[in-house]
Structure formats: C-alpha cells, structure tokens
Amino acid sequence: MTGLVRSKATLLELSEEAMSLDQLLETVPPREIDEEAVSTRLASVEFSIRRKVDAYVELYDDEQARVEGLKTILERVKDALKGAEARADRLKRLARLVALKTGKAELFGELRSIKVSRSADSLEILKPEKVPERFKVKTLETTIPKGPLKEALVRDEATQAIIVKETGEELTGIVDLKPVYQVRFK
C-alpha cells in the first residue's frame, strides 16, 4: 500500500485504488489488517477522486468554450471569404463591362492592366424535349451531349437567332449560346 495519494495519478488509477481498498476492507478479516490505516487511506483517495472529477469537468468546460469560440471564428472567416469572393467577382464583372462598353480588349493603368477576352460560348439547353433527335443519345435516359450540339450551332449576327449551321434550322428558345469572357488582371 502506498503512503500519500499521488497527485499525478489519473482518475482511473485513483478509482482502481479506491476499489481495491474497499475490497480489502470487505474481504480481509479485521485482525489481519490495520483497519484504521486502510480507512484513512481510502478517505484520502476518495478526496483525491473528488478533486480530480472537479478538475476534469473544469477542463471539459474550458475545451467546450474553446470549441464554441473556434466555431464563431470559423463562421466569421467564412463570411469574410464570401465577401472577398463577391468583391473580386464584382471587380471582374465591372472590368468586363468597361471593356465591352469601350470596345477595348485591354485596359492600361500606369503599372497594371486588365485584359478581357472572349472564349467559346457556353451552351444552355432551355427545352431538352424540343432538341432535334439527331443530337440526342439513347442511353437508359435520353441525353443531349453538349459538345456535338454546340459545334453544330451558330448565332446569326443579324437576327441573333441560334441556328444549325448545316441545315439553317432555328433553335432559338430551345437552346441558348451565352458568351463567356475571361478577365485577367496583370
């Protein structure tokens, strides 16, 4: 049996020691042990257990408060990120608008420049059921691969109608070709 209760003992170790002391008092005849010494030791261990429990609960509460604080910080960072992304997107849209309005593909500052270029149009299918059958692929469900359909289409600059290059068939209102612009800040 040890003398003083070890302050560095874990709650589990203290609990095991208390159980073994209880068992010792219950199983060993009183004349074979110093019952008073065992009882004093048991009281000391139980006191240490109570202090450990208090310390564990306090540590847990501190960690929970830290978790909540970090969650709050994380939400603020997410909000700040969304705001920064929205501002960057707005700057790109404004730069594109200025380039389109002025007809200049590149805008120059003293040290920096903005270049706006048009890339391939984006295809949006508005009414899939009205797309001509020759552009559809039979699978478990009928799908419309955008690549071949997009390559077959052209926007008539005079009427802004979307037509099939080979046949002249108009697909305005069924599909739409949207211009895509790349904005580069240098």
Can you give the pTM of this predicted structure?
0.48
Distance CA 45, CA 54 (A): 14
pLDDT in tens, 123-141: 777 777 777 777 777 766 6
Distance of CA 178 to the CA centre of its chain: 30
Distance CA 111, CA 95 (A): 16
For residue 1, pLDDT beyond 60: no
Q: Return the structure tokens found at 22.
A: 């209880």
Angle at alpha carbon of residue 49, lines to 45 and 50, rounded to 5° = 120
Where do the domains of the chain lie?
Answer: 11-70, 118-185
pLDDT given at position 148: 73
pLDDT in tens, 19-62: 888 787 777 777 777 778 878 888 888 888 888 888 888 989 99
